[in-house]
A and B are shown apart, each in its own frame.
Chain A
Amino acid sequence: MGRGLLYGVILTLVLAVLWLLLSGMWWHGIITGLGAASVIMSIYMTARFGLIDGETVPFKSILRFARYWLWLGGEIFKANIEVVKLALSPKLNIKPVITHVGVSEGSDLARTTYANSITLTPGTVTVEVEEGGFLIHALDESFADTEAFIDMGKRATAAADGGAS
């Protein structure tokens, strides 16, 4: 119960700050009042759905995710350059492949992060989620590098579930 209350308070603060930043109405009588009412309504509904837990309010893992996103940003940048080079080379020469990549142990959040990271990196798209792995379509053989996928999976799991990275 105490933990749920902590998550609720944090979620309320985040929603209130978000509303103030998006509207810019720091003190505007009735409008700020309506904003407060909408925050309270959202919190009430979230609580009624029983959704206030560590997954809705991931404040403990936000720093780990920030580090992971920085690394992912670098990977995306490199992959973008490769895709543009391939797609714009005067002699178009690609060999698309479909590969199966196994998923290491991890929570649902870790797997979702992993699958979305693969899709977000240009040149590879997660086509299908199967038991024990993903089916991945790659633009060229050079993108279907199993070692790189496994490394990304380890980092995604470390970011989502904690532990050594």
Chain B
Amino acid sequence: MSVGFFIELGLDLASAALMLTGAVFVLAGALGMLRLPDFYTRLHAAGVTDTLGAEMIIIGLMLQSGWSLVTVKLALLGLFVFLTSPTATHATANAAYKSGLKPILQRFNPRASDDEGGAS
């Protein structure tokens, strides 16, 4: 049981935790895509997937690959996702807005009637 063993164990645990959390955020983004009512609100859910979800998985993989060229490539990948995903999101939202898709602007609360029932 050397010090190196514990450092390696710690790195493995940290990268596993990061990748699991990232996967949970990707899943949450996907569920949000299904649950939210219209195009614009769904874009926000997609944003969760490509910011926190993708970046956490990439950082987890960087810890896994150690001090090598692969780490540098992963870091560049993270930087490019960070820079290009808002541009793509803006282009999508702008195209929808320009072509006349109206966003839902009133309160969206489909389960409001359940509150009065008192069942939940």
Tell me the A residues contacting B by CB distance below 8 Å. 21-22, 24, 69, 76-77, 80, 83-84, 87-88, 90-98, 115-117, 119-128, 135, 137, 139
Contacts and interface: CB of A to CB of B under 8 A. Distances in A.
The list of the 9 closest CB pairs from A to B, nearest first, reads: A87-B32, A119-B86, A122-B47, A120-B86, A80-B52, A116-B86, A139-B44, A95-B107, A93-B109
7 contacts: A69-B82, A87-B36, A91-B111, A92-B111, A93-B112, A128-B94, A139-B36
B89 interface: yes
B69 interface: yes
A98 B111 contact: no
Nearest to A134: B90
Contacts of A115: 90
A123 to B, nearest CB: 5
A117 B41 CA distance: 18
Nearest to B106: A95
B111 A120 contact: no
Given A96-B104, A126-B93, A91 B109 contact: yes
Contacts of B32: 83-84, 87-88
Contact of B107 (A94, A135, A137): A94
A34 to B, nearest CB: 19
A76 B90 CA distance: 16
A90 B112 CA distance: 11
B61 interface: no
A137 B43 CA distance: 10
Contacts of B106: 95
A85 to B, nearest CB: 9
